Amino acid sequence: MGAGVPHGHPETRCWRLDDGGRQTLVLAATGDRLPQVVYWGAPLPGDEDLTTLHAAHGIDVTGGMLDENPDLSLCPEAVRSFPGQPGLILRAGDGMQLLPKFCFEAEEGDGQHLILTYGDVDNGLTLTIRFAADPDTRIITATSRLDSDRPVHLHWLAAPVLPAPQHSGEMIDVSGRWCGEFQLNRTAWSPGLRYRENRTGRTGHEHFPGLIIPCTGCTNTGGEAYGFHYGWSGGHKMIAEELPDGRRQVQFGHAARMEMKPATRYETAPLYITYSATGLNGCAVAFQRHLRDRIVSWPRPGKPRPVHYNCWEAVYFDHSLPVLKDIATRAAALGAERFVLDDGWFGQRDDDTRSLSDWKVDARKYPEGLDPLIDYVHGLGMSFGIWFEPEMINPDSDIHRAHPDWALGGEDQTLGRQQKALNMALPGVRDFIYDRMAAILSGHEIDYIKWDHNRVLPMPDADQTRGSYALIDRLRRAFPLVEIESCASGGGRIDFGILHRTQRVWLSDSNDALERLRIQHDAALFLPMAVTGSHVGPRRCHTSGRSLDISFRAWVAAQRHMGFEMDPRELDPREAHVLQQVTAWWKDNRIWMEGADILRLDSADPAVLAEQQMTREGDRFVVFAGKAATSAQISPRPLRLTALDPQARYRITVLNRADSPALSRGTPILKTETIEVSGAWLMHHGLVLPWNFPETIWVIEGERL
């Protein structure tokens, strides 16, 4: 049944959303009350009686309980005796607490979209809830908006509140740190709540706003799971609560008390949700596709992602034109297609203590401006990108000396990397940054910005994030062909809100391929290859001190949007050769890989982190099996593939079998030959790979015959 048609029992209002085959969401309300999600999961038959579902979903009442269990509605209301966290907390303009109670006003929808309007006449409030189910990506997008007929103070507004499954023992949310992004936390469900709140004012390494709830027995490749992502860069709050009666709720929204002034309208960021019956990978694929195909806008759709060269770890602040030209020449010979000039080109930026905001080319380093370098780079066939950190200011800068009031926060605030944030809510500040950036972009042929954000805010304030978004949006309107990479000391600003405005994320400042292998693996729960930057770092990693072979470094970068960041002058002939070869392979394969799904494999050996990147049609794939540590057992355990056609036959080749060390003395067939086997065998027995050292990776190509 489509939305908008009252169904069956006159006292029940029901709606259902279907994404065209993978999930159904059923909402039902008693009379005029706010609806609850009474079903979310595998698709239901088209003729399911929703009124019966509503009645059958209700739980019993016994001693010590109210006479009816309060609704776990899309915005649980304290005034209706809801025993857990409410979905809305606000005060009137005079500071008095309001206790909203919403009643039905209007509905609109078509089975894949639904808009519900509820009003609280006594308090002059309107709550508008929107759902949109995408039949292609299988993501449901949900938002809540509150309108008030007079200014009110908002403490907390949850995006539409969802129930969490009962047949789940744990939840997975995401934390991390600098050089260690996307760490998955598993927390057991128990009575009470898990409350995560990011009050730093940016998405943060520590707080990627995502949650996956695996049902009992779920793995990467099988079982049921529910995925959530809140698309906002200003810091989120998440509540995962088990109520005293055993029901569970999930709430996402902006961090609480982010709104400084009373207002008449508040809206959550989009909450992206999905149900999977194909393990964690079902959630991952939905998020990857939705991000790549719906959220990111590509300036030149269809143009392959270029191989990057970024000079940061080669020269840091020490810019010299002859050296940069030499590096650019070598990078181009290795296969780079875009040269990104990192920090150090402006003001008097000889280290990280000064000059942020002084966005004028440093005439000491570039006496004839940037053009000699840009022209040289173009002459090598590469495009040119440049680093900015627009929202930031050093106290030691001309702009801070002229406008100390532009900085956000008190004079005695603790600095971060010797810098303050600018107050992005001030239109004058945004105009200033816009003018300086526009002058650089219009005066030069630049097609790429690495947009950094290297410190947390002195206090959370939603206006700051809205100001950043407005600035990016204005620049994008003026320079629609310029791509932007979101960086924040690596992966400190990664979310669908910023990716609505950018095309790439700098996943981590760690160019250590071993660490990167793990970070990429876990980030793939949400991020596709096309947006995930990954660079080949120096032989001895600058952030870990670890030395890794070029083959491992190159292949790990080739798993995502590939680039180089080492000083190419350090490469010996073998290293340069390997890097060239892997880069050439990446270029040959990038077009299909950019549209592929990243499927995490369930490795029987915890030392092996493996993934299968496969076209949507399933006719082609590549498996990366990274050996992150020495295995406990002596011989490699078979690696089972996933999502293949059991009846089909596949041609399988270990692409880099020449990397096999002398200590591999046996004759597993994949060491020397291509094999043709069924999907059933690949999924149920698995590949028997040759023995190898830790900190190496096997790259296996597959093709359906």
Please report whether residue 549 would count as binding ligand GLA according to CB under 6 A. Answer: no
Please report whether residue 490 would count as binding ligand GLA according to CB under 6 A. Answer: yes
Q: Which of residues 378-417 bind ligand GLA (CB under 6 A)?
A: 387
Q: Which residues contact 670 (CB under 8 A, 6 or more apart)?
A: 652, 653, 654, 657, 687, 688, 689, 690, 700
Under a CB-based contact definition with an 8 Å cutoff, are residues 563 and 339 in contact? no
DSSP 39-73: EEESPPPTT--HHHHHHHHPPP--TTS-SSPPP-B
Residue 509 annotated as catalytic: yes
Question: Which CB sits closer to ligand GLA, 22 or 535?
Answer: 535
Under a CB-based contact definition with an 8 Å cutoff, are residues 150 and 140 in contact? no
Q: Which residues contact 276 (CB under 8 A, 6 or more apart)?
A: 22, 224, 225, 226, 227, 282, 283, 286
Q: Closest Cα to residue 117, out of 109, 125, 107?
A: 107
Reading the block at residue 357, the tokens are: 């905001």
Please report whether residue 208 would count as binding ligand GLA according to CB under 6 A. Answer: no
Helix axes 513-523, 550-558, angle to 10 degrees: 20
Question: Which CB sits closer to ligand GLA, 349 or 657?
Answer: 349
The region of 147-155, 484-492, 544-552, 606-614 touching ligand GLA under the rule CB under 6 A is: 484-492
Query: Which of these is catalytic: 18, 71, 173, 509?
Result: 509
Residue 522 annotated as catalytic: no
The region of 240-248, 485-493, 642-650, 657-665 touching ligand GLA under the rule CB under 6 A is: 485-493
Please report whether residue 564 would count as binding ligand GLA according to CB under 6 A. Answer: no
Q: Closest Cα to residue 89, out of 266, 290, 235, 231?
A: 266
Q: Minimum distance from CB of 548 to ligand GLA (Å)?
A: 19
- Determine the length of the chain: 705
Question: Which CB sits closer to ligand GLA, 106 or 415?
Answer: 415
- Assign residue 335 a region: left if phi > 0, alpha if psi is -120 to 50, beta otherwise? left
Please report whether residue 563 would count as binding ligand GLA according to CB under 6 A. Answer: no
Distances in Å between the Cα of 400 and the Cα atoms of 275, 346, 426, 438 are 49, 15, 15, 20
Please report whether residue 509 would count as binding ligand GLA according to CB under 6 A. Answer: yes
Please report whether residue 347 would count as binding ligand GLA according to CB under 6 A. Answer: no
- 295 CB neighbour count, 10 Å cutoff: 23
Question: Which CB sits closer to ligand GLA, 131 or 451?
Answer: 451
Q: Which of residues 289-318 bind ligand GLA (CB under 6 A)?
A: 312
Question: Which CB sits closer to ligand GLA, 87 or 490?
Answer: 490
Please report whether residue 181 would count as binding ligand GLA according to CB under 6 A. Answer: no
Please report whether residue 339 would count as binding ligand GLA according to CB under 6 A. Answer: no
Q: Minimum distance from CB of 675 to ligand GLA (Å)?
A: 42
Please report whether residue 696 would count as binding ligand GLA according to CB under 6 A. Answer: no
Residues in the interface with ligand GLA (CB under 6 A) total 12
Please report whether residue 454 would count as binding ligand GLA according to CB under 6 A. Answer: yes
- Assign residue 347 a region: left if phi > 0, alpha if psi is -120 to 50, beta otherwise? left
Helix axes 371-379, 321-334, angle to 10 degrees: 20
CA torsion, ordered 425, 430, 432, 436, to nearest 10 deg: 150
The region of 160-168, 299-307, 324-332, 487-495 touching ligand GLA under the rule CB under 6 A is: 487-495
Q: Minimum distance from CB of 510 to ligand GLA (Å)?
A: 10
Q: Minimum distance from CB of 459 to ligand GLA (Å)?
A: 22
Query: Which of these is catalytic: 173, 342, 358, 452?
Result: 452
Report the distance separating Cα 530 and Cα 296, nearest Å.
10
Of 383, 486, 489, 510, the one binding ligand GLA (CB under 6 A) is 489
Helix axes 427-443, 462-478, angle to 10 degrees: 30
Amino acid, res. 520: Q
Question: Which CB sits closer to ligand GLA, 287 or 339?
Answer: 339
Q: Minimum distance from CB of 322 to ligand GLA (Å)?
A: 22
Please report whether residue 452 would count as binding ligand GLA according to CB under 6 A. Answer: yes
The region of 367-375, 486-494, 540-548, 646-654 touching ligand GLA under the rule CB under 6 A is: 486-494
Q: In 3-state terms, the chain is what percent helix, strand and coil (to 5)?
A: 25, 30, 45
Instruction: Give the interface with ligand GLA as residue ranges (CB under 6 A).
Output: 312, 342-343, 352, 387, 452, 454, 487, 489-490, 506, 509
- Catalytic amino acids? 452, 509
